[in-house]
Amino acid sequence: MEEKEKLIREKIEAEDLSEMLQLRGVKQIVWDNLTKEKGFSQGEIEIDPHFEIALSDCKSTVSIDFIITLPPATFAVIRCANSGLEFWERYVTAFAMVVKDYQIPFAMVTNGYEAKIINVLSGALEGETMQDFYSRQEALKILKDFKPVPCPEKRLEREKRIIYAFEDIKCPTPKTDK
């Protein structure tokens, strides 16, 4: 029985390693696209930034793969995924809504080729490939007229809980007295 458990454990570890290496490859593809094709400078792209999210009953540190900041504001958050872009679409949208004191205007989840590019303020899908993502010049034009809009108070707690759920953090649901 121990031999079987050992083989299963080794198979799981090999699959985990393979997935991690694939994700690194996706992140490299996205990085290269942003810096070489879209014109963003290295200083404008933060890699694996961490943010503290506080709910009424708990708090945690969460992160995203990339965040792009240009004067005068953060332009986009990006999550890299090997598959299941639709699954991560809700996460990046919630993330963009709550990690700053204003909603970051764009969120993208991508596997390096396919993408879901979301206009966070309108909820509209802006593009479906990495090539559809904005260039630095387009981003600067958009931010020129950008007015920071905070996440609506009534949605703030819910959006934070979505992030917690995706981050696999157990946060108790508040009890209501009836």
| pLDDT score for 6 | 74
Predicted TM-score of the model (pTM): 0.81
List the pLDDT tens digit at each of the 178 positions of the chain: 688 787 777 667 656 555 555 567 889 999 999 999 999 999 999 999 999 998 888 888 899 999 999 999 999 999 998 878 998 999 999 999 999 999 999 999 999 999 999 999 999 999 999 999 999 999 999 999 999 999 999 999 999 989 988 876 434 444 444 4
**CATH code reported for the domain at 2-166:** 3.90.1570.30
Domain boundaries, the chain: 2-166
| pLDDT score for 22 | 58
Phi, psi of 89 (to 5 degrees): -60, -45
Q: Which two tokens stand for residue 135?
A: 């260039």
| pLDDT score for 172 | 41
